[in-house]
Structure 1
């Protein structure tokens, strides 16, 4: 494998017939799916040697063909790293006598979890991620939750990228972990009020979060009490707590249905109380204040959600009463309760806003923002009895700003502005939103970022990003990485396509299941509009998406290959039909509401078959393509991009470059270190510049 390969690897083709609903397909690359994939998630060394050899051969081909960009990758990495304040920290979040924060040290790849007494004194390092990561090729801290009395810290880590987290409990005073070690968790934990019991979710052998356990400090993990077990493999289980700290929440959910149970935090051994039984298509999310539940739900045809109330003592739906009405097109994204206020984050006309409601008299006001396109995040913090909330604001041209906001005085205090050490002048960049028309007449918003001196005569290359699934909206926020393309003359565009909730819940519904094709045609329409309006030309657009957005990349590459000059697909979900037919995989049953259930439904089978990128690879010319994968990825298994690339290489009729790069030490999120992650972005941007013939183009100065 040390020799420079002279030709790309060719995966062996072995007949493998699959028959469903009277239809037979041949999958000649099925053998790339390891039979022992569950073991590989925990221990990559047990991967079948033949499969490993193929993945490593693809990696070697990638390295050889991208060798001419190595200096460019180093330059891109240095640029992006230079825009990050290395010794940075979050704004400390107060909780009782302490304030908690996450910070980084210069050169450090991993976070430090710290706290300081609010009355003064030296900082205490609760967790040193850099020290903990030593000796690990991959290391990620999943969560860190301090006990109510601040004496303990429940924290978890994953050292394989497979998202099996091992939970530890640390004595804050001594800095040592106690003997209690809990494997195979989802990464988080919730403390009971007694500081002795904590709750966690355990993953099963197929990586599904299905069981909630209660652990008592100092006892054997084998004695942990099973509090709740989800029998339906289509539902995932999560844990949380009300902001009042009075209740622990057990949440069971799919992408379109949920139900919640309450456990009094001061009675951890009590049986969970069901608020409302699950009903298909109905979601509800709960918080509590002063004995009243505040329930954000889409029940009662409230497609964009409403907020109802109910007494904690009798929480069933017949006692739900309206508080915040449903307004079509105004999507209620989240809500948070404080002793005297209800705060909600909502989106209307594609833009977010924060609305504050005083509980005493119902008076409401909105926190206003000046820019036409921006991103907004609400951080409720730890404290309940406070009039202060915290939010983060940014735009494509404006670095992130953290504010504290007093809900009574309405005073806004800037706490921190994201530093760009290498310099950044927002005036040198332009942020716009244009509208593309989809084939069915729908208006698709497209956010743009480019330098003010970029010629808008069609000569500029464009990177067009898209996702369009699970109702996830792509915010118009600030990014230090994309400036490396923009400073080299790229227009950076985000297509806010159907399948997300950028324009409300209906925008999501119009891009899922039987209507999934709208996601793909919206993205193509965005690209065509950029050409028609003279921003760029056909063949000068590099399409980019990851995970379900990687499925989008595979679909549009099949449907409109001549529109794109390159395609970058991160951990791409491209083998959709085979994955949705395999109910042993971690995400398959919970994903059926999103994509359809081809196991039981012939109609769903045909719908997915019609667009599944792997199944629709055809003998035609394809644009240059880069697929990025992770060996221990439990979400999009490594064999999906591997099979896709193998089939493309065997089928396509062009000589354009085609790469598969598999991170053999990571999973869905790629490299775990903050700087190692930038190296993967540098690879993708070097690929984009390579296919546009711009590897020698120097960036214009930012300031």
Structure 2
């Protein structure tokens, strides 16, 4: 099936606006697509300017018309993906004192139920929160978190009802199932209870959507009486709250992308003014855990040149930098990602040679051992749980062929107990697939890891299409984990690949620093090198690759579309950060000040301005042949505002010299995360995968080699 344009595409009117920085003039013909009233739109989408709404709705209509021939394929893909989900799935209960807490789904339901039951019983379930009931009548609904109090009597739960990430916290009496009168609006997810469950700390989000203030809410009082606990003075820093695993300390963390600072409050004395651990130093990050029996903190930090991080210890009563003493030294090439301190054991999640592992240290004698796996590419995550005085931790393992496995691991005896294996109701045989990790040589000689999966019987003669996914920003590493959705591509003859490009931390912190600021272009050239290598090795061929990325990965999509259009057949750009220069020049936008450490500050630096201008996707669209492009955004997205993909598509339509198709869809009822329900999200995935199949002319549903599709009733 070949995708063809359905007549004349919408064309945005040109209304030139000129700005000047560092003596450099820049003309933007489509700046009018940004509503001057955008802050109000985040809270109430109905106030969107009428002309802008008309244009976006015209684009949405055009896209739906273009994708109409794929309606059957989209439905087939959706049913396949839904058939791989255990609809009545549940998490493994996590013990906490007399109860064990877990989430579960009801067959056919979009949202989870948050539940508990007596710790040592399989019965006696109490539903703390049914998100489906709360979502009734809402076009968008997402739970931020559900945090039970230490007394187990109350649960604080938050929800976003617009997609704009303004969450409102309510308090639920777990025994009665009813909410108290308490209502705390305009928060970011995450609260921290005091030790008695009488109050909690939360972060308030301001009109620019910046979490800069921490308040304390006392149960049973109006939010207007909440006490301000901490104010962050630097708009480039965001604030969050949490607790140490010991439960003894409430943590207030201020951070940007390269610097952090922590204040502490005793959980049993929440009225105590916050105590500074160590003042912020540019480029120094730190995070702490509490070793309660030894009255000390264990601090994960990159101080003193520890690029891949080290662990230091400091006295509980004097935790300042001057009292930091080395506990686990820096080991170049072994990146410490996370750490948890239990009463008798200290656990670290690390990455070495691009693969994760868990290191366990018995605190009493310092003896260590590791938990690792043998596949070429895999994902490994550890959870901290609720309890401190325990010898059992939980971790999850998967690979691109192996469904997720959840284990309880005894830190002392080193035995692991399989608690759950992800079920694929429609059937999945890992032996039918091959997962590999290969390396592409970048333009400067660096070796770029690429994880991939394909059917074992696929002939690798260069004829197979490939979906190549990438991100490459903020130090975020993309795991080589199991995905039920990508199997729909693999079963139709695709190679599904992930390029672990610079800008992430797959190969340590240096991998991140070599993909940011003035080195940002390495991210894009690494991705191009990955695509070229896949073609050279016969996994696919040039012009037969569909590139896929979202958010900052959407910026990647825009950049490679400009730089190497002939390599790609199609581009899938979800909530794409493509108007980089204009956004980073605008300090009033929600995320701009913290972003300057990632991209540079073009307001103050001509060098930063020229560097960003050299790759900013919107600014570099030019007259040339482009791949087929499908861009998606969300009207209430505070991270990547809707006008970025809208402006980009308008300029692409103006400059494209070939007859390729360019589509834009703006979700008028959602933000950065797209649709909120689990099945609605699958429909979104089915839509973009149908596009990928169509542009590579692999859109015949009969070409699938998947197991039979199972519908919601379990029938073939």
| TM > 0.5 | yes
Q: Which one of 365, 368, 371 corresponds to residue 364 of structure 1?
A: 368
Determine the structure 1 residue equivalent to 2:572. Answer: 568
Q: Which one of 425, 430, 436 corresponds to residue 429 of structure 2?
A: 425
Indicate the SS of the match to 2:229.
strand
Determine the structure 2 residue equivalent to 1:271. Answer: 273
Deviations 1:608-630 (A, max 9, x none): 00000000000000000000100
Determine the structure 1 residue equivalent to 2:258. Answer: 256
Partners of 1:296 and 1:470 in 2: CA distance: 18
Conserved? CA contact 1:467–1:552, under 8 Å = yes
Task: Please state if 1:659 is matched with 2:700.
Answer: no
Conserved? CA contact 1:567–1:626, under 8 Å = yes
Determine the structure 2 residue equivalent to 1:22. Answer: 23
Determine the structure 2 residue equivalent to 1:510. Answer: 514
Determine the structure 2 residue equivalent to 1:244. Answer: 246
Determine the structure 2 residue equivalent to 1:65. Answer: 66
Partners of 2:103 and 2:638 in 1: CA distance: 27
Partners of 2:554 and 2:544 in 1: CA distance: 19
Deviations 1:378-423 (A, max 9, x none): 0110000000000000000000000000011111100000000000
Determine the structure 2 residue equivalent to 1:160. Answer: 162
Partners of 1:366 and 1:562 in 2: CA distance: 45
Q: Which one of 221, 230, 246 corresponds to residue 232 of structure 2?
A: 230
Partners of 2:53 and 2:284 in 1: CA distance: 44
Aligned residue runs from structure 1 range 538-687, under 5 A: 538-687=542-691
Partners of 1:664 and 1:456 in 2: CA distance: 42
Indicate the SS of the match to 2:573.
strand
Deviations 1:429-461 (A, max 9, x none): 000111110011000011110000111001100
Determine the structure 1 residue equivalent to 2:144. Answer: 142
Partners of 2:200 and 2:119 in 1: CA distance: 26
Which runs of no fewer than 5 residues in structure 1 stay unpaired? none
Which runs of no fewer than 5 residues in structure 2 stay unpaired? 709-716
Conserved? CA contact 1:336–1:380, under 8 Å = yes
Cα displacement (A) at 1:702: 4.2
Determine the structure 1 residue equivalent to 2:129. Answer: 127
Cα displacement (A) at 1:535: 1.3
Cα displacement (A) at 1:371: 1.7
Determine the structure 1 residue equivalent to 2:711. Answer: none
Cα distance change on mapping 1:105 and 1:92 into 2, 3 Å: same
Determine the structure 1 residue equivalent to 2:107. Answer: 106
Partners of 1:529 and 1:629 in 2: CA distance: 31
Conserved? CA contact 1:338–1:384, under 8 Å = yes
Over the aligned positions, Cα root-mean-square deviation in angstroms equals 0.9
Deviations 1:119-138 (A, max 9, x none): 43410000001111000010
Aligned residue runs from structure 1 range 365-444, under 5 A: 365-444=369-448
Indicate the SS of the match to 2:304.
coil
Indicate the SS of the match to 2:51.
helix
Cα displacement (A) at 1:370: 2.5
Conserved? CA contact 1:297–1:305, under 8 Å = yes
Cα displacement (A) at 1:6: 3.3
Segment drifting more, 185-194 vs 155-164: 185-194
Partners of 1:385 and 1:133 in 2: CA distance: 37
Cα displacement (A) at 1:694: 1.5
Partners of 2:374 and 2:460 in 1: CA distance: 26
Q: Which one of 675, 700, 705 corresponds to residue 700 of structure 1?
A: 705
Partners of 2:549 and 2:628 in 1: CA distance: 15
Partners of 2:374 and 2:662 in 1: CA distance: 44
Cα displacement (A) at 1:651: 1.2
Determine the structure 2 residue equivalent to 1:117. Answer: 118
Deviations 1:236-259 (A, max 9, x none): 000010000000000000010000
Segment drifting more, 362-371 vs 413-422: 362-371
Cα displacement (A) at 1:5: 6.9
Deviations 1:12-71 (A, max 9, x none): 000100100100010010000011111100100000010000000000000011100011
Cα displacement (A) at 1:601: 0.7
Q: Which one of 330, 338, 343 corresponds to residue 342 of structure 2?
A: 338
Partners of 2:299 and 2:383 in 1: CA distance: 19
Partners of 1:518 and 1:452 in 2: CA distance: 32
Determine the structure 1 residue equivalent to 2:185. Answer: 183
Indicate the SS of the match to 2:598.
helix
Partners of 2:203 and 2:108 in 1: CA distance: 34
Determine the structure 2 residue equivalent to 1:171. Answer: 173
Partners of 1:573 and 1:214 in 2: CA distance: 35
Runs of 4 or more above 4 Å deviation: none
Conserved? CA contact 2:383–2:394, under 8 Å = yes
Partners of 2:661 and 2:630 in 1: CA distance: 8
Cα displacement (A) at 1:687: 0.2
How many residue pairs get aligned? The number is 700
Indicate the SS of the match to 1:552.
helix
Deviations 1:279-311 (A, max 9, x none): 110000011022210100000100000000001
Cα displacement (A) at 1:187: 2.0
Task: Please state if 1:477 is matched with 2:492.
Answer: no
Indicate the SS of the match to 1:76.
helix
Deviations 1:464-506 (A, max 9, x none): 0000000011111000000000000000011010000000000
Determine the structure 2 residue equivalent to 1:294. Answer: 298
Partners of 1:327 and 1:559 in 2: CA distance: 37
Indicate the SS of the match to 2:305.
coil
Determine the structure 1 residue equivalent to 2:714. Answer: none
Partners of 2:330 and 2:567 in 1: CA distance: 41
Partners of 1:247 and 1:389 in 2: CA distance: 21
Partners of 2:253 and 2:406 in 1: CA distance: 30
Determine the structure 2 residue equivalent to 1:46. Answer: 47
TM-score, normalising length: structure 1: 0.99
Partners of 2:219 and 2:347 in 1: CA distance: 35
Conserved? CA contact 2:6–2:66, under 8 Å = no
Indicate the SS of the match to 1:64.
helix
Cα displacement (A) at 1:652: 1.3
Cα displacement (A) at 1:372: 2.2
Q: Which one of 489, 499, 502 corresponds to residue 498 of structure 1?
A: 502
Partners of 2:689 and 2:160 in 1: CA distance: 28
Deviations 1:138-164 (A, max 9, x none): 000001100001000000000000000
Partners of 1:170 and 1:41 in 2: CA distance: 27
Indicate the SS of the match to 1:382.
coil
Cα displacement (A) at 1:173: 1.2
Conserved? CA contact 1:400–1:417, under 8 Å = yes
Conserved? CA contact 2:356–2:372, under 8 Å = no
Partners of 1:700 and 1:220 in 2: CA distance: 58
Cα distance change on mapping 1:31 and 1:71 into 2, 3 Å: same
Conserved? CA contact 1:428–1:702, under 8 Å = no
